[in-house]
Amino acid sequence: MPKLSKFFILLTLLISLPASAQPVEYFTDNGYGNPVSTMHHPCAEFVDGITYLTYQGPHEDPYVSTYNHTTQKWTGPFKAGVNPMGREQDAIDRDGRVDNHGRPAMIVDAKGYIHIIFGGHGGSPDLGVNQNGTPGRGKQTHAVSKRPHDITEWETLENISPFGTYSQFVKMDNGDLYLFFRHGSHRSNWVYQKSIDHGRTFADPTPLLISKPQPQDPDILDAWYAWFAKGKGNTITASYVYHPCGKGDRHTKDRHNTYYMQLNTGDNTWHNAPGQHLTIPILKEYADKNTLIFNTQGGRANHGTCRVDENGNPHIFFRHEKGHARYYRWLGDKWQQPVTIFPGNRSQDGDMIVHSPTHVQVLLRYNTPTGSHVGYFTTTDGGLTWKKENPIVSSNTVQYNPISAIARNAHPDARLLIAEDVKGQQHQYHHMILLGDNGPVTRPLEETKNLGNRLEHVLKIKEEK
Ligand code: ZN
For the stretch 332-344, pLDDT in tens is 999 999 999 998 7
**7-47 pLDDT tens trace:** 555 555 555 567 777 999 999 999 999 999 999 999 999 99
Query: pLDDT for 281-301, tens place per residue?
Result: 999 999 999 999 999 999 999
How many structural domains does the chain have?
1
Question: How far, in Å, from the CA of 138 to the mean position of ligand 1?
Answer: 18
Low-confidence winner among 58-67, 134-143, 348-357, 447-456 (lowest mean pLDDT): 447-456
- Strand-by-strand arrangement of the 73-79 sheet: 44-47, 50-56, 62-68, 73-79
> 390 with 370: CB under 8 angstroms?
no
- C-alpha distances out from residue 146 to 14, 83, 120, 154, 422, Å: 40, 19, 22, 5, 36
Q: What is the DSSP letter of 322?
A: G
Q: Assess whether 69 carries a catalytic annotation.
A: no
Residue pair 409/398 in contact (Cβ under 8 Å)? The answer is: no
Closest CA to 187 of 169, 167, 165, 204: 165
- Ligand 1 center to residue 400 CA distance, Å? 27
> Where in the sequence is the domain holding 234, given as residue range(s)?
22-464
40, 41, 59, 101: the catalytic one is 101
Rg of the chain in Å (alpha carbons): 22
Report yes or no: 358 and 378 within 8 Å, Cβ to Cβ: no
CA distance linking residue 420 with residue 29, whole number of Å = 9
- CA of 245 from ligand 1 middle (Å) equals 4
The answer as to whether 253 is a domain residue is: yes
Instruction: Establish if 126 belongs to a structural domain.
Output: yes
Q: How far is the CA of 390 from the centre of ligand 1 (A)?
A: 38
pLDDT of residue 157: 98
Find the mean pLDDT for residues 385-392.
98
Q: What local confidence, expressed as pLDDT, does residue 97 receive?
A: 85
Is there a domain that residue 4 lies in?
no
Does any domain span residue 318? Answer: yes
8 Å CB contact between 85 and 60 = yes
For residue 250, report the distance from its CA to the centre of ligand 1, in Å.
7
Of 36-45, 140-149, 248-257, 320-329, which gets the smallest average pLDDT? Answer: 248-257
The Cα 384–Cα 29 span in angstroms is: 40
How do residues 312-363 score in pLDDT, each as one tens digit? 999 999 999 888 999 999 999 999 999 999 987 778 999 999 999 999 999 9
Known active-site residue 260: no
**Is the residue at 81 inside a domain?**
yes
What's the gap in Å between 289 CA and the centre of ligand 1?
Answer: 23
- The pLDDT value recorded for residue 11 is 55
pTM of full prediction above 0.85 = yes
Q: What's the whole-number average pLDDT of the chain?
A: 92
| CATH code of residue 183 | 2.130.10.120
Question: Hey, what amino acid is at 20?
Answer: S
Residue 6 lies in a domain: no
Question: Residues 166, 260, 327, 400: which is the catalytic one?
Answer: 166
- For range 69-98, the mean pLDDT: 89
Mean pLDDT, residues 50-61 taken together: 97
